[in-house]
Amino acid sequence: MEKMPYRAELDGGIFQMGCPTEQVTTTDWRQALPVLTSNQVTLRELRISDAPSLFAMLTTEEVSRFISPPPSTVEGFERFIAWTQRQRAAGTYVCFAVTVEGSDAAIGIFQVRELEKGFETAEWGFAIGSPYWGTGVFAEGARLTMEFAFDVLGVHRLEARAAVRNGRGNAALLKVGAVPEAVLRQSFLRNGEYLDQTLYAIVEDDWRARDAQQWTRTVIRETVH
């Protein structure tokens, strides 16, 4: 990843970053994001009250070093969350909070933004608190996010950018079926240094083939009121 669209300076101050059990929502995601659930992970709309938890999880050096700088204060995260809700209402971007079984605390985020009007080509990005790395939370959250992107947003091509030096981020993308397509030389300015990024994409055909072969669909979607 990754340059997700939030920019503090544009916001007056702040991060800008096959199974019959399935129940399909008819909710308009622009009004409120649905709740997406798998075995140990739930994705839901961000709430302002998630700010302290996200601040604790996403501002550590190991989490933030290869991504757009996160807000540096809890108040900054509150403004970021308010911004995500405005962008969702405008229909250009969604950001899910990641929670794990037994807790409602937000421990990470998955974001999807349109690169073309109507989401046909979109970009996703994600960050999870390091206590949850290597636990399977990422893979489950990624599957839920991809399902939402392809089935609900109508994405045809889902891109991601990962700094070449971000070994963990690149491996995570490969694990969920993203295909490396190119190196974008010096495309990401971080801490005063231009980093090369790998451009990845998952196209809808890849997703459908993988979904049918490898993943059982156990998603239950509900509407957030």
Ligand X SMILES: CC(C)(COP(=O)(O)OP(=O)(O)OC[C@H]1O[C@@H](n2cnc3c(N)ncnc32)[C@H](O)[C@@H]1OP(=O)(O)O)[C@@H](O)C(=O)NCCC(=O)NCCS
Which residues lie near ligand X (CB under 6 A)? 1-2, 63, 66-67, 126-128, 133-134, 138-139, 160, 162, 166-169, 171-173, 175
Q: Which residue has the tokens 């939030």?
A: 6
Complex with ligand X: residue 35 or 67, whichever CB lies closer: 67
How many secondary structure helices (H) and strands (E) does the chain include? 6, 9
Residue 7's nearest CA partner among 63, 94, 66, 87 is: 87
Return the SS3 of 94.
Answer: strand
Q: Shortest gap between Cβ of 36 and ligand X (angstroms)?
A: 16
Q: Shortest gap between Cβ of 1 and ligand X (angstroms)?
A: 4
Complex with ligand X: residue 187 or 223, whichever CB lies closer: 187
Q: How far apart are CA 130 and CA 75, in angstroms?
A: 22
Q: Shortest gap between Cβ of 198 and ligand X (angstroms)?
A: 9
Complex with ligand X: residue 28 or 196, whichever CB lies closer: 196
Q: Shortest gap between Cβ of 220 and ligand X (angstroms)?
A: 23
Q: How far apart are CA 67 and CA 170, in angstroms?
A: 13
Complex with ligand X: residue 81 or 173, whichever CB lies closer: 173
Q: How far apart are CA 4 and CA 87, in angstroms?
A: 12
Q: Which residue is nearest to ligand X (CB)?
A: 167
Q: Shortest gap between Cβ of 28 and ligand X (angstroms)?
A: 28
Complex with ligand X: residue 24 or 186, whichever CB lies closer: 186
